[in-house]
Structure 1
Amino acid sequence: MGLLGKVVSRFQKFGGKPEDKNSGKPIEVLDRYGRTLEIDRDEWVNNVLIHNMEKVKDDPDALYNMIIGAMHDGFMQEVLIFSRYLYNIDPDRERSTTVLGICLMHTNRWQDAEELFNYYLASDGPSGIVMTNLAKVYNNKGDEELAFKTLLAALNEDPNQDNGLEWYAALEKEKGGAEAEEAAFKKISEVPGSWRSQLYLARFALERDDIKQAVSIYQTVLQNFESIVPSDFLFQMSGDLGLNGYINAITTMVQPCYQPEVHGIQTGNNIIKALVTLERFDEAKSLVDELFRLDRPDWSETLNFWDSNIAEHKLKNEPERAVNYDEFFYHSFQAPIWLGYNKPFEKFFPEKGVNAPSVIIFGGVVIRDKQNDAGKSSLTDTTGRLSRSIPLGLGEYLQFKTPASVINTICYHAQVGFAVFQRSPDASELVDHAKRLSSKAAVAINFSIHNDGGQVWVEAKVISITSNKSMTCSQPLTEEDGVRDIQVLYDNIADVIKTLSGIATVSPPAWYSFPQKEHVPNYLLRLEQQLALYMDSHSADKGTLYGEHEILQGAIQLCAYMPSSVPARLICAMTARELGEKYPDIIETNADRFAGLNSDLSQAGEMGRLVQAELRKLILRAVN
C-alpha cells in the first residue's frame, strides 16, 4: 500500500507554538491500524499534505481543520495559497480572515495582514480574535500604545480568547507584578460573558488555599453555561484543582459536567487520575473503557497507561490473599499456543508419527540478585513475561522444525495468575515431570531468566531423558538485540537437542516462518498475551487479566507489521475470539481494522483464506 493509503490521521496537538518546519523532526501520523508512522517533512508536504488539501479544498470545514494542523507543524508558507482559497469560499469570514492573517504574519507579510484585518473590521464589524491579531501587527511595527489599546478593545469584544487574555495579563504583570496580573484578570472578568478570566481568579484563590472562594467562582460560572461547558474551562479547572490537592472537588464539580465525546482525553485524564487517587478504581476503569469506545488511536497510549495503572493499584489495595499453594497447577499444551486448540486449522498441523519423541519445555523461572518477597502477588514485569514468552517461542519453533511433538508447560493459579519461581527445579524433578506428561518424552528443557545488577540473560538447560546428560545454552538480553536475536538461541538449542537425543531439524510447512528479528520482541509479547488470555478464559475464577484493549490493538498491529505471517494472523484471530466472549464491544470498536486485514492485507493460500474467514465471523458476531 502506498503512503497515502497508510495515513489515516495526524496526531492531535494541543496548543503551543507552531513547529519549526526546518527542525528536521519527522511528522508523526497514525495508520488504519493505530500504528505510529514517521514521515519525512518534505515527503509529508509533497505527497500527503498538498494532495489531501486538494481533495477537500471545496469543503470549508475540512479545509480549515487541515490548514490549522499544517500551521501547527510550521508549514505557513505551504498552506498560504490554501488559506487564500479558504478566504474566498468560507461562509465563516471571521475564521478564514484569522487563518489567512496568521499565515501572512508568519510569512512576514505584515502589511498585507494589517490591510486584511482592517478590511474585515470595516466591512463585518468588531471581532475579538481579529482585533487581537491586529494588535500583534501593531506590536510588530513598534507601536506598543496602539497595540495595547487594540488588545484591550479585543478583550472587551471577546473576553474568552486565551491568547489575547494571557498576553494582556502578561503585559500588566510586567508593569506591576503579580498584583497587577490578578487585577488584569479581574478587570476582564467584569466583561459580560466572561468565563476564562474567572478560571485564573479561581487559580489564584487555590494557590492561597482559599478553596471556598475558588468553589464559589467555579459554581457561579458553571451556572451561566446554558448547556455544554467549554472544554478549556473543564480542563483548566480540573488541572488547577488537582495541582493544589483538591482531588475530591474534581469528582464533585468537574466529573458531572464531563462528556467524553466533547471534552476528550485531557480532562478525562485528570478525572481518571482523581478517581485512582481516591481509590475509586471501578469508576476509573469504567471511564477508561468509555474513552476507548470512542476509538481515538491518538489516545491509546494514555488509556493503556491507565488500564495497567488501575490494575496495579487495585492489586496493591486488595487484602493479601491466603493463597493455597496446592491450588497451583502445571498446565500443559501442545505447542504452539495459537494452533493447538483451534479445530479449523488442525489439518495444517505438522503430522507427528505415533512413535514421535516428545520435547517438554518448562518456563516461569526468574532469578534476581535481589529476590522479591516469596508468595507476593504483583502485576507481571518484563522478566516475568520473558520467562513465559521465550519458552513459548521455542515450542513453536521446534514444533514446526523438528519431528518431535512439543509440549509447553506453565504453572498457574486461577486466582492470582502465573507463578514465577525464584529458583530452577532440580534436573530429576524436570525429568520425572516430563515422563508423567508423555511416555515418549525424550528431552526436557528448563528456561530461567537471570537479572544480576541490571544484566539480564536467559539460560536454557537441555536434559536428555534417556541418558540424563545435559547441556546449557544462554544468551544476553540486556540489550534489545538480545531478544531480537532469540532465533540464534533457538538454533543453538536445536543443535544441542540433536547432540543429546539425535532429533534433527526438518523443513517447516510452506506457510510457516519465524518472525524477522525486528518483529521478534513484539511477536513474543503477543504469544505471552495469548497464553494469558487462554488461561483466563479457561479458568473457573476469571479476573487476573488486564489491559484487554492493548492486547487486541497489539495483535492487530502485529498483523500490519507482518502482513504475510500466518501465525501473526492466527494470534490475532484467537485473541479476538477469546476477548470477544467477555468484551464484545472491543471487537465492534475494531471492526474496521479487522476488515482492513481481510482487504488491504489479505493473505493467499488455503491457510490464509481460513484465517480470513475466522476474522469475518468475529466481525459479524460483534456488529450483529
Structure 2
Amino acid sequence: MFKRILSALSGKKSRTSTPVSSVHADASPPSDESELITVYDSYGREMKITRNEWRDNVLLPNLQQKWSDADELYSLIISGLNDGFVADLIPAAAQLVAIDSNPERSHVIQGIVLLENGQLDAAETTLRAGMAKVGATGTLLTNLAKVFTERGEQALADETLWRAVQTEPNLENGMLWWAAIQRERAGEEGYLQALRTVAALPGSWRAQLWRARHYLEHNDVEPARALYAEVLAGGRFDGGALMMISGDLGNNGQIPLIIELIGPVYDEHKHDAMAGINLLRAYQELGNADEGQALLARLYALGFMPIKSQLDQFAQVFEQMRKQDVQGVPIDPESLKFTTLALNQPIWHYGLRNADWFFAQKPEGASQVGFFAFSKSTDGAEHAESQREDELGRLSRAIPLYLAEAVHYWSDHVGTCYIQIVEGGGPVLSGAEADGQALFDIVPPMMKYFVTGEIGCSGEDDQVQWQIALSLWDCATRTKSATESGSAVKADLGALVLDLETRLLAGVGLGREAPLDSFYLRPTAEVLPVYLTELGQSFMLTLLANGHVPKSSMWGERAMLDWPLNMALHWPTLEVAKLMYICGLGKALDYQSDVLAEYKERSLQMLRELEQARSPALRLAPLVWKVFGMQAELHAYIRELPADTSPEHKAWLDRVSES
C-alpha cells in the first residue's frame, strides 16, 4: 500500500515534490500498526518494515532533522498525511507556516492537518489567514469548502467549492468533487454537464481528460482523440496528465494512440514517470524494441528507485525481442582476422588501471599454467557463423577464466587464460578441442602445464545436463598427463566445477594454504554459477574497453554492470564482487558508456557502505570518483596522501587521473 524511498534516512531528496493536496485523504488510515510498508533502498531493492518502524525510525526523526527546511518539511508532512500519521503532524505543520516563503502551500497543508485531526475551527482560521496573504486561491477555497462540509453547512460548501473551480478549473480535487456532487444530484447526465461547464471556463483543460475517459469507456474513440489532441496542442497540461491519458488509452485497448499522442510530448523530467512506464508497455505491445530501449535509457537516467525493478523487466523484454530478430549469419573464416588474447590476471583485475599496489604479485619468473577456452562438444559437422552469445559460449570462456583465477590464488604458479577472438566480432567458439601437441611449440617457455577442454549440454531448462572434459598437458614431457571429466544438471554445475578445480590444482602442484590476497574467498557451489556468469560478462566488457568489438554490438549492458553489484548485495562477505563492480565501472569509462551516469548514486552508496564495513575495496574509491567526474574528491585525496605512500600507489593515482 505504501511505497517510500529509504534515502530519506540520509536526507536525500526524492525525484519530484508531491503537489499540495486540495482535500484531505478520503480513505481512513490503517489501524494495524504492524502493517508492512514497502520501502526502497538506494539500490532500488524493496524492503518491508512496519508502520510503527516507519513512523519511529524514519518519519519523526526526519521531521526534526528538516525542521528548518521548508521544502523538505513540506514533503515529509505530505508523506505523513498519505500514510495516515495525522496526529504526529500538528507541530510540523505549524512550523511550516512559520518558516515557509510560500504562504499558500503552508496554510493549505496546516489546514489539511488540522481538518484531519478534527479541529475544524482552527482549520478555517488558518485557511482564511492564507487567503489574507495570497488571495482566495482555488486550493485554499477547496479546502475551506471541505471544512464547511464537515460542519454540515452544505450550501456554504457548494458556493465555496464553485468559487474554487471558477478560480482554478484545472485543480483536480476541486473539479472532480464538484462534478461528483452534480452526479449525485442529477445522475450521469448531470456529471457530464458539469464537465462541459468546467471545460468552458477560461484556461480549462483537465475536464476534457475526464470527458475523453467517458468517451473511451463507451467505445467512442474519435471524440476522445480530438479532446486529447486539443489538450496536448495547448501545452498547458501538468505532469500527471500524460499518465491519465496513457493509462486510459491502454485500459481501453488504444495502444497505438499512446505512441502517437504521448510519444512526441513525453518529457521524463516534467511528466509523471508512470506515463513513461505506460509508454514502454505500448512499445512492448507493438514490438518496437528500438524505441522502447531509447526511452528506457531516459527513464533509467532519472535514478528514480521505485520504478527501477519495472525498468529492469522491460530491459529484459526488449533485449529478448531484439535477440529473436537476429539469426546466425554464415561467414567465411578466411575473411576474418583472428587474435588470441592472453590474460595473465583474473579478469576482474582488468579495468582497475593496473592496481598492482592493491593486489599481491607473483615473483618474476614464476612458472605458468595456461588455460585455453573450451571447445563445443559436437555430434557432427559445424559451419562457421556469427551469432549472439549463449550460455554454452559464455561458459566455454568463464570456466577456464575461473580455473586460471584458482591457479592464481591457490598456487604459486601464474594462471593465464587464452581466448581466441575475431577482431570486431567477438569470441570464437570452436567445434573441436585444441590440439595439445600443436600448442607445445607456441606456449611461452615458462609454461609448465596447460589445459584444454570441451563443454556440451543436452536437455532443456532446469533439466539441462552439462558435460565437461579437461585435458592436462605437461610441457616438460610434451604429453597429456591427465584427463578429468564430469557431468551435472544445472543445479549441480557449481559443485562440478569446484570438483574439477580441486583435481586440477592437485595435478599442477605448488598449492597454497592461504589465498594470494587475504580478502579472496573461494566461491561456494551455490555462488559459483552466478560468479561464472560475471566472469563471462566481465570478459565481454574487457573486449569493449580495449576496442576489440564495437559498442554497437553490446547487448544487455545494464545487466552486465548491475550483475556484480547485485552479487555484492546478496553476498556481502564476497569481497571480489565489490571489486568486480568497480572494475566494470572502469571498463565502462574506457568504452564511453552511455548509461554510466545512472550508476553514480548507487556507486557512492556502495562506497559509504564499504567505509562502514572497512572493506579493502574502499581503497579503489579514487577510480570511482574519476568515473563520475568527481575531480574535487580525487584531487583532495591525492593532496592528503600519507608521506609513506608507495611509488606504485602514486603511479596508479596518476593513471587514474589521466584516464
Structure 1 SS opposite 2:41: strand
- Give the letter aligned to residue 96 of structure 2: L
TM-score by length of 2: 0.72
- Which residue is equivalent to 2:538? 530
- Distance in 2 (CA, whole Å) between partners of 1:47 and 1:461 is 56
- Give the letter aligned to residue 520 of structure 2: S
- Distance in 2 (CA, whole Å) between partners of 1:221 and 1:405 is 68
CA 1:195–1:229: 2 relative to 1, 3 Å: closer
Q: Could you report, residue by residue, the CA deviation over 1:524-546 in whole angstroms, capped at 9, with x for unpaired residues? A: 55433211212334425542213
Identify the match of residue 557 of structure 2 among 545, 548, 553: 548
- Confirm whether residue 539 of structure 1 aligns to residue 553 of structure 2: no
- Confirm whether residue 30 of structure 1 aligns to residue 30 of structure 2: no
- Which residue is equivalent to 1:120? 127
TM-score by length of 1: 0.75
- Confirm whether residue 300 of structure 1 aligns to residue 308 of structure 2: yes
- Distance in 2 (CA, whole Å) between partners of 1:429 and 1:447 is 12
- Confirm whether residue 50 of structure 1 aligns to residue 64 of structure 2: no
| 8 Å Cα contact 2:454-2:470 kept in structure 1 | yes
| 8 Å Cα contact 1:494-1:505 kept in structure 2 | no
Structure 1 SS opposite 2:68: coil
Q: CA deviation at 1:234?
A: 2.2
- Distance in 2 (CA, whole Å) between partners of 1:420 and 1:172 is 72
Q: CA deviation at 1:338?
A: 1.8
- Which residue is equivalent to 2:89? 79
User: How many equivalent pairs are there?
Assistant: 600
Structure 2 unmatched runs, 5+: 1-5, 20-24, 379-383, 474-479, 633-656
Q: CA deviation at 1:129?
A: 3.9
- Distance in 1 (CA, whole Å) between partners of 2:12 and 2:130 is 39
| 8 Å Cα contact 2:366-2:413 kept in structure 1 | no
CA 1:23–1:130: 2 relative to 1, 3 Å: farther
- Confirm whether residue 192 of structure 1 aligns to residue 202 of structure 2: yes
- Confirm whether residue 397 of structure 1 aligns to residue 406 of structure 2: yes
- Which residue is equivalent to 1:492? 499
Identify the match of residue 229 of structure 1 among 216, 223, 237: 237
Q: CA deviation at 1:74?
A: 3.6
- Distance in 2 (CA, whole Å) between partners of 1:366 and 1:179 is 73
- Distance in 2 (CA, whole Å) between partners of 1:493 and 1:80 is 67
- Give the letter aligned to residue 539 of structure 2: L
- Distance in 1 (CA, whole Å) between partners of 2:60 and 2:612 is 33
- Distance in 2 (CA, whole Å) between partners of 1:567 and 1:354 is 26
Structure 2 SS opposite 1:472: strand
Structure 1 unmatched runs, 5+: 368-373
Structure 2 SS opposite 1:470: strand
What root-mean-square deviation, in Å, do the aligned CA atoms of Structure 1 and Structure 2 show? Answer: 5.0
- Distance in 2 (CA, whole Å) between partners of 1:388 and 1:97 is 65
CA 1:186–1:375: 2 relative to 1, 3 Å: farther
- Which residue is equivalent to 1:68? 78
- Distance in 2 (CA, whole Å) between partners of 1:545 and 1:285 is 13
- Confirm whether residue 510 of structure 1 aligns to residue 524 of structure 2: no
- Distance in 2 (CA, whole Å) between partners of 1:66 and 1:521 is 43
- Distance in 1 (CA, whole Å) between partners of 2:615 and 2:100 is 53
Structure 2 SS opposite 1:579: helix
- Distance in 2 (CA, whole Å) between partners of 1:209 and 1:575 is 51
Q: CA deviation at 1:400?
A: 0.6
- Residue range with higher mean Cα deviation, 537-546 or 145-154: 145-154
Q: CA deviation at 1:117?
A: 3.3
Q: Could you report, residue by residue, the CA deviation over 1:310-364 in whole angstroms, capped at 9, with x for unpaired residues? A: 4444444467644456759776634511226867235745527867462536468
Correspondence list, 1:36-185, <5 A: 41-104=51-114, 106=116, 109-110=117-118, 112-113=119-120, 115-117=122-124, 120-121=127-128, 124=131, 126-130=136-140, 132-133=142-143, 154-169=164-179, 181-185=191-195
- Which residue is equivalent to 1:371? none
- Distance in 1 (CA, whole Å) between partners of 2:62 and 2:320 is 43
| 8 Å Cα contact 2:625-2:631 kept in structure 1 | no
- Which residue is equivalent to 1:266? 274
- Which residue is equivalent to 2:646? none
Q: CA deviation at 1:451?
A: 5.4
- Which residue is equivalent to 2:214? 204
- Residue range with higher mean Cα deviation, 68-77 or 266-275: 266-275
- Give the letter aligned to residue 127 of structure 2: Y
- Distance in 1 (CA, whole Å) between partners of 2:34 and 2:253 is 38
| 8 Å Cα contact 1:560-1:597 kept in structure 2 | no
Correspondence list, 1:284-433, <5 A: 284-317=292-325, 321-324=329-332, 333-339=343-349, 344-346=354-356, 348=359, 350-351=361-362, 356=367, 358=369, 360=371, 362=373, 377=387, 389=398, 392-408=401-417
- Distance in 2 (CA, whole Å) between partners of 1:515 and 1:161 is 61
- Give the letter aligned to residue 610 of structure 2: L
- Distance in 2 (CA, whole Å) between partners of 1:176 and 1:431 is 90
- Residue range with higher mean Cα deviation, 446-455 or 210-219: 446-455
- Residue range with higher mean Cα deviation, 79-88 or 436-445: 436-445
Q: Could you report, residue by residue, the CA deviation over 1:349-387 in whole angstroms, capped at 9, with x for unpaired residues? A: 5527867462536468699xxxxxx97955757x87667
| 8 Å Cα contact 1:131-1:151 kept in structure 2 | yes
- Distance in 1 (CA, whole Å) between partners of 2:396 and 2:14 is 37
| 8 Å Cα contact 2:351-2:586 kept in structure 1 | no
Q: Could you report, residue by residue, the CA deviation over 1:272-296 in whole angstroms, capped at 9, with x for unpaired residues? A: 4555666765555444334444444
- Distance in 1 (CA, whole Å) between partners of 2:440 and 2:161 is 85
Q: CA deviation at 1:217?
A: 1.9
Q: CA deviation at 1:240?
A: 3.2
- Confirm whether residue 472 of structure 1 aligns to residue 486 of structure 2: yes
- Residue range with higher mean Cα deviation, 76-85 or 429-438: 429-438
- Give the letter aligned to residue 194 of structure 1: S
